[in-house]
Amino acid sequence: MVKTSQTQKAGESIRETRFSNARLSKVGIEVLRLEDLQRWAQQQWLAQPERIEFHLLILVTAGRGLHTVDFESHELKAGTLISVRPGQMQRWHAGDGLEGLFVVFQSSALPGPGAHTEASHELLRINEWPVCMRCPAKVQAELAEEVRRLADELKRYDQGDLGTALIRQLTGCVLLRSARAVAEHSAMANDKPHSVHRLFIAELERAVGERPTVHALSARLGYSVSTLNRACLAAQGTPAKVVIDKRVALEAARLLVHTLAPAAQISLQLGFSEATNFSKFFQRVMGATPQAFRERHGAR
């Protein structure tokens, strides 16, 4: 199972959940059932927000419920596939007869860019997967079968080389089926604007703490501002500045709700010269003042 901890520094209190299973640490992968999670864990523990340090796939096969990722709640029902990435904030909710499977895997379990396997980063494009999507019945059945096959091998795992290789292959099958479902769902294109958009998002993730401008990212990437705007419009329907503002606001929201740091400290951390400018920015993008947002979402 996974392990949680409270990290405290500089006035912060963050609940971080990490992969922790000594028997499976070599592969960094685990499969669990939703119904078991709800039976094992106290509802009060499940309801607390957490920042995860691994990838999480949730496939719902029956029942109904909710799952919140980065302050947006998603309805769970049969056929729902939830994808959460390292660094994202999530909150579990009690479900009504909720059943399904979830796969926990560390980033190290993903094949590297040069891996000699079909399940490469370019094929998976896991950082582009939507948080929530609906799978047709046939896709749900196929994906559930792959996950169960992986779960069976994990139960038999003896940490030997053959078992390790088999589990990695089965994990690749799960991820490739998920990637195909995502591609069919969102019709992700392989054209230049989306390629530029992927580079833009990756650079933005690295620099989000600096609150970079479009011009700064343009200079780093070697693309013109107009090219970045076209790429963002094609991929997300908004210009590059709006994409940057939303990502910076999300980072601020995470810090407001999941740490005890004062808003003034967060504003400096994200590159704002004045706390009042930060407050105006946050209210414009998120629709609430930093204090109101913190109170609404229950900082812990």
pLDDT at 245 over 50: yes
User: Per-residue pLDDT averaged across 4-8, rounded?
Assistant: 47
Q: What pLDDT score does 116 carry?
A: 47
Q: pLDDT confidence of 110, banded at 50, 70, 90?
A: confident
**pLDDT at site 236:** 87
Q: What pTM does this model have?
A: 0.81
Beta-strand ranges (E) seen in the chain are: 2-9, 12-19, 29-33, 50-52, 55-69, 72-76, 80-84, 89-92, 96-105, 132-134
Of 6, 175, 15, 35, nearest in space to 90 by CA:
15
Angle at Cα 31 formed by Cα 27 and Cα 35, nearest 5°?
A: 160
Residue 150 pLDDT greater than 70, yes or no: yes
- The C-alpha atoms of residue 45 and residue 284 are separated, in whole angstroms, by 33
What distance in Å separates the CA atoms of residue 204 and residue 195, rounded to the nearest whole number? 14
Strand partners, 14: 7
pLDDT band at 144 (very low <50, low <70, confident <90, very high): very high
Cβ neighbours around 210 below 10 Å, total: 11
Instruction: Return the number of other C-beta atoms located less than 10 Å from residue 136's C-beta.
Output: 12
CA dist 115 and 194 (Å) reads: 23
Pairing between β-strand 96-105 and β-strand 29-33 as defined by DSSP bridges: antiparallel
pLDDT value at residue 1: 53
The DSSP bridge pattern shows strands 50-52 and 12-19 to be parallel
What local confidence, expressed as pLDDT, does residue 35 receive? 83
C-beta separation of 297 from 257 below 8 A: yes
236 or 249, which is more confident: 249
Helix (H) or strand (E) holding 296: helix 290-296
Range of weakest confidence among 38-52, 60-74, 161-175, 211-225: 38-52
Q: What is the pLDDT of residue 229?
A: 95
Tell whether the model's pLDDT for residue 129 goes beyond 70.
yes
Enumerate residues 6+ apart whose C-beta is below 8 A from 299: 256, 257, 258, 259, 260
| pLDDT at residue 167, as a whole number | 94
